[in-house]
Amino acid sequence: MRFRKLKQKTKTKKREKVQVTYASYPDKIKALITDVFMIYAPILYFIAYIVMDGKDAFQSSQLAPLIAVMLYGLIYAILLSKFGQTPGKKAYDIEVVDDKTYKNLSFIRAFIRFVAFLFSATILFGLLTPLFRKDKKALHDILCNTVEISKKV
């Protein structure tokens, strides 16, 4: 095929506009609470009562809460990179995807998003940014170029 015809074919192809519905803020909060109870609470229980001698030993340790948060972050990143959802997000039909391609995140990017979430939750302003944006992105979504979309039809 001649180059000129090939070039004309590429010019005529237009990008398809994808219609996206952003996840609502209350659904995001409910999904987070569900994830905390389904993933983080069992991790805390396992570390406090199976690995350690009980809650007093857990509370006196400086390393145990850090290990629990990092383990939660690893599980969270694995679930996001593999399925695009955690159990809480699946319950509310929310998917975390790249904001340009709408494809699943890599494991590294999902873990960085978790670390950015910890930062934005610490300063609290990061969790309130969806209230002021049309695309309902939180600070950690802005930093990692991700978006939480609703899969409801």
Single-letter amino acid, residue 124: L
- The tens digit of pLDDT for each residue in 110-148 reads 999 999 999 999 998 888 898 898 888 999 999 999 999
Q: For residue 97, give the nearest of 26, 21, 27 by alpha carbon.
A: 21
Helix, strand, or coil here: 88? helix
- Do 113 and 80 meet the contact criterion of CB atoms below 8 Å apart? yes
The answer to whether 104 and 81 are in contact (CB under 8 A) is yes
Distance (Å, whole) CA 96 – CA 102:
8
Please give the biggest Cα pair distance in the chain: 76
CB of 94 closer than 8 Å to CB of 26: no
Q: What is the pTM of this model?
A: 0.82
Can you give the pLDDT of all 153 residues of the chain as single tens digits? 566 666 666 555 554 566 788 999 999 999 999 999 999 999 999 999 999 989 899 999 999 999 999 999 999 999 999 999 999 999 999 999 998 988 999 999 999 999 999 999 999 888 889 889 888 899 999 999 999 999 876
CA atoms within 13 A on the CB side of 101: 5
